[in-house]
Amino acid sequence: MAGHQGSHAEYIAVSSNIISHKPKTLPHVESASLPYVSLTAWAAIKTVGNLNRSSANRKRCLVIGGSGGLGTFAIQLLKTWNAHVTATCRSDAVELLSRLGADFLVDYTEPDFRQQLKASERFDFILDCVGGEYHSFAPKLLRQGRLAPCVTVVSPVLKNTDEHGLVPGFLLSACDAARTTIKELVEGRSVRWAFFYQNATALKEVAAKVDAGKIKPVLDETFSFEAARDAYQKVKDGHLPTESGAWSSEARVGSVLLRFRCYIFRIFVNSVPYQLRLHY
Share of the chain above pLDDT 90, in %: 42
How does pLDDT run across 168-224, given as a tens digit for each residue? 766 766 666 656 555 555 565 788 888 888 899 999 999 999 999 999 998 877 877
β-bridge pairing 240-241 and 272-279: unpaired
Q: Which residues contact 139 (CB under 8 A, 6 or more apart)?
A: 126, 150, 180, 184, 189, 191
Provide the CB-side half-sphere exposure for 127 (13 A, CA).
34
**pLDDT at residue 31 above 50?**
yes
CA atoms of 243 and 108, how far apart (whole Å): 10
* pLDDT computed for residue 147 by the predictor: 74
The terminus-to-terminus CA distance of the chain in angstroms comes to 15
Question: How far apart are the C-alpha atoms of 123 and 189, rounded to whole Å?
Answer: 11
**114-155 per-position pLDDT tens digit:** 999 999 999 999 999 988 788 788 989 999 866 789 999 987
CATH number belonging to domain 24-155+188-279: 3.40.50.720
Separation of alpha carbons 58 and 79, rounded Å: 9
